A and B are shown apart, each in its own frame.
Chain A
Amino acid sequence: MNALIASLGPHGGYIAAAFGATGLILGFLIAMSLLAHRDAARRLAALEARRKP
């Protein structure tokens, strides 16, 4: 990893930080969206099961 950053020149740390931050924010967005969907689907299934006679 250090060699990869070093190969990007004297500002390799800045490039790695920018790509890392982007990955973190996108990862957070994806995870939050998927978790919220899974949670809503689970709650709806529980409610519908309770409604069935």
Chain B
Amino acid sequence: MEQMSRPSLWLRLANPAAFNTLARWLLGPLVVLTIAAFGYGLYLAFAASPADYQQGETVRIMYIHVPAAWLSLFVYAGMAVSALGTLVFRHPMADVAQKAAAPIGAGFTLICLVTGSIWGKPMWGTWWEWDARLTSVLILFLLYLGIIALWRAIEEPARAARAVAILTLVGVVNLPIIKFSVDWWYTLHQPASVFRMGGPTIHPTMLAPLFVMALGYLALYLVLLIVRMKTELLERRIERLQILAADGERP
């Protein structure tokens, strides 16, 4: 007799109830991890890491700027996977995840732009420069805003999801441009010093707070993503109930 195989996690998560159960399990530990990572990361950033020999104390801005930049790219890459999930696999939770992630990605990109600008003033003598890295990150921020606006502009959720998925996939071309802009063009921004061939050029005492803060950002992203996905599921249920109620009131 053939035994029925258990559906994969991918298939099980297509059911909102299964997602809500998983979310209940994950949310508590992720909140604890977020608080612990930010607490320990800030301690390392201010008390246990040295000032830079060139930049002095200003280097401490790196501990909030660089992880925000990593997360802004990571969130967009995740949205691109969700876009494929919507267009190719028609996974029912893919567009929920994408809609929930966009404002968080926009927030991380805004942090990257604002802290980079504040860091640039004392180091480069300017708040802003239209160089390849800064401009491509600004384009990423505008892409996030465009995606959020498109979700709001199209009323029918299925059409909105398809349009947003296409826009997201078109915007993926910006990710390698951001990553390699410092190598392809002459820019004010320094070249990659962590994820590069030949290993990081940053001292371990500075790498530790950088990675712990990045862990804090990642855990916070997952917490917010889960909360926003749960909210989106509630909104869709409200919409269905309102349609049912309107149908029931019709003569």
Q: Which residues of A are at the interface with B, using a C-beta cutoff of 8 A?
A: 8-12, 14-15, 17-19, 21-22, 25-26, 28-30, 32-34, 36-37, 40-41, 43-44, 47-48, 50-51
Across the A-B interface, the 6 shortest Cβ-Cβ residue pairs: A40-B234, A9-B57, A37-B231, A18-B115, A18-B118, A11-B122
Look across to chain B and name the residue whose beta carbon is closest to the beta carbon of A34. Answer: B227
Instruction: Tell me the smallest distance from the CB of B205 to a CB of chain A, in Å.
Output: 17
Q: Is the interface of B mostly helix, strand, loop or mixed?
A: helix
Contact B61 A28 (CB under 8 A): no
Instruction: Tell me the smallest distance from the CB of B100 to a CB of chain A, in Å.
Output: 9
Q: Which residues of B are at the interface with A, using a C-beta cutoff of 8 A?
A: 51, 56-58, 60-61, 64-65, 68, 103-104, 107, 110-111, 114-115, 118-119, 121-122, 220, 224, 227-228, 230-231, 234-235, 237-238, 241-242, 245
Instruction: Tell me the smallest distance from the CB of A47 to a CB of chain B, in Å.
Output: 5
For B119, what are the chain A residues with a Cβ–Cβ distance below 8 Å? Answer: 14, 18
Q: How many A-B residue pairs have CB under 8 A?
A: 86
For B118, what are the chain A residues with a Cβ–Cβ distance below 8 Å? Answer: 14, 17-18, 21
- CA A15 to CA B62, docked complex, whole Å: 10
Contact B231 A40 (CB under 8 A): yes
Instruction: Tell me the smallest distance from the CB of B25 to a CB of chain A, in Å.
Output: 18
Instruction: Tell me the smallest distance from the CB of A46 to a CB of chain B, in Å.
Output: 9
Q: Which of B56, B64, B230 contacts A22 (CB 8 A)?
A: B64
Given the interface contacts A43-B238, A47-B245, does A15 sit within 8 Å of B231 by beta carbon? no
Contact A44 B64 (CB under 8 A): no
Instruction: Tell me the smallest distance from the CB of B2 to a CB of chain A, in Å.
Output: 41
Q: Can you identify 29 A-B contacts, CB atoms within 8 angstroms?
A: A8-B57, A8-B60, A9-B51, A9-B56, A9-B57, A10-B56, A11-B57, A11-B122, A14-B58, A14-B61, A15-B60, A15-B61, A18-B115, A18-B119, A19-B61, A22-B115, A26-B111, A29-B107, A30-B224, A32-B103, A33-B228, A34-B227, A36-B231, A37-B228, A37-B231, A40-B235, A44-B234, A47-B242, A47-B245
